[in-house]
Structure 1
Amino acid sequence: MQRDQMDVAIMDFSKAFDVVLVHHGRLLLKLAHNGITGTTHSWIKAFLGNRSQ
């Protein structure tokens, strides 16, 4: 019987970006500069858009 493997990464960002020290715009610029673009960048931007500092 063949078994398929599924890898899962679970990340809990719920508190990580709510601290005053993280400026969301600056974080997004740094992510883009370091190659985090496209769908992943859009997902993080949407996630941060519903948060307040």
Structure 2
Amino acid sequence: MTVDLDDFLEADRAFHTVLVKVAANPILDSVYGSLRDRQGPQSAGGDAIEMNPG
């Protein structure tokens, strides 16, 4: 299965943002926000990644 890299990274960021918010930990929220902002746009050198669930 091939997944668009931009879609994967967006979903990954949204998923982890929800986990951090649900934890209701202001320190974790601050650290995660800082790391997320520093990470910026990501690139894995391609437009798609190959997913192998097996």
Q: When the two structures are superposed, what TM-score results if normalisation uses the length of structure 2?
A: 0.42
Highest RCO, 1 vs 2 (Cα 8 Å, sep ≥ 6)? 2
Name the TM-score, length of structure 1 as normaliser: 0.42
